[in-house]
């Protein structure tokens, strides 16, 4: 967010989607896509471990410290074969737009050793929601994959 180059290249949250998946969902570069899930695991307690295996996920779940939450994001689609089929890439650097936070699709159960969340691995269902304001104007946002400088 502190780099003007990134902000000028991608002024809006984006997701990269494989051409086969894009065709399946009816998405083109510049289209708007929503990714949502109502099965995001959230740890609600059990952060102070007093006994041997209290920190294991199965025990946290058994003791009532895990619940299912939800999350969603919207983004501009970039169709590219730089990502694998069945997977999208979302930039985690864009939390400033309401509804665009990719982190909302990540489980919020910290690693028991480092007590850090397992970011970068989210899940959700994708759907096309329409066209973005950038679809027909290339002077504001590029649809080239991030692998091209």
Per-residue model confidence as pLDDT tens digits over 114-145: 777 766 778 899 899 999 888 877 677 877 77
CB atoms within 10 A of CB 105: 20
| Domains in the chain with CATH codes | 4-79+86-131 (2.40.40.20)
Task: Provide CB contacts within 8 A for 101, sequence distance 6+.
Answer: 71, 73, 94, 95
- Nearest to 79, CA basis, from 5, 26, 149: 26
Tokens 């304001």 locate to 133
Task: Provide CB contacts within 8 A for 133, sequence distance 6+.
Answer: 140
Instruction: Taking the CA atoms of 53, 58, 64 and 66 in sequence, report the sign of the dihedral they define.
Output: positive
Question: Can you give the pTM of this predicted structure?
Answer: 0.79
Per-residue model confidence as pLDDT tens digits over 31-51: 999 999 999 999 998 776 667
């Amino acid at each position: 967010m502190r780099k003007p180059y990134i902000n000028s290249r991608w002024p809006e949250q984006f997701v990269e989607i494989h051409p086969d998946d894009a065709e399946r969902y009816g998405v083109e570069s510049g289209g708007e896509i929503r990714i949502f899930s109502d099965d995001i695991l959230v740890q609600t307690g059990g952060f102070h471990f007093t006994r041997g295996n209290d920190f294991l996920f199965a025990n946290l779940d058994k003791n009532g410290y895990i619940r299912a939450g939800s999350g969603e994001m919207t983004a501009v689609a970039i169709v590219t074969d730089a990502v694998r089929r069945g997977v999208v890439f979302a930039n985690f650097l864009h939390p400033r737009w309401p509804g665009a936070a990719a982190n909302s699709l990540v489980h919020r159960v910290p690693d028991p050793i480092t007590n850090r969340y397992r970011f970068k691995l989210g899940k959700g269902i994708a759907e096309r929601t329409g066209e973005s304001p950038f679809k027909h104007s290339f002077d504001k946002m590029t649809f080239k994959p991030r692998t091209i400088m």
